[in-house]
Amino acid sequence: MSPVETLASLNQTSLEALTTVQNGIVAAYKRAARFLPTSWIPATPLVPMTRGYVPQVIEERYASKVKVLEANKSFAVRLLDTASPAAEPAKTAKNTKTAK
């Protein structure tokens, strides 16, 4: 197994473990939520925590994180390209004639 395949396998296993834990937490919360009053999340003085805003805040926050990850990926690829540029295409007779 190549290092890339090993990394992909480890990432997949980690994601599956994370999802399993998250599913367990959601299931436990659903059971507990039946006994909690609907207003158990207190409003903060600076940000009203109303049910209407929470989904929008979650979406915006994660959309922002996706953009940051894409920027970091682009940065890493550009650094790699700088440190180890791709080989130039081999010159052929056709390329040599047009270059003259």
46-55 pLDDT, tens digit per residue, is: 555 566 777 8
The string of pLDDT tens digits covering residues 60-89 is: 999 999 999 999 999 999 999 888 876 676
| 5-13 CB contacts, 8 Å cutoff, 24+ apart | none
pLDDT at residue number 39: 67
Tokens of 60: 């915006």
pLDDT of residue 53: 78
Contact status, residue 49 vs residue 42, Cβ threshold 8 Å: yes
- Rounded Cα distance between 5 and 51, Å, is 42
**pLDDT for the residue numbered 69:** 95
For the cut 70, the answer to whether the pLDDT of residue 21 exceeds it is yes
Task: Give the dihedral sign, CA 26/67/60/44.
Answer: positive
- State the pLDDT at residue 24: 96
Q: With the CA atoms of 71, 88, 7 and 18 taken in that order, what torsion angle do they form, in degrees rounded to the nearest 10?
A: 20
C-beta of residue 7 within 8 angstroms of C-beta of residue 15 = no
pLDDT score at 84: 81
Q: What is residue 18's predicted lDDT score, i.e. its pLDDT?
A: 95
Domain spans, the chain: 1-36, 43-86
pTM of the model: 0.56
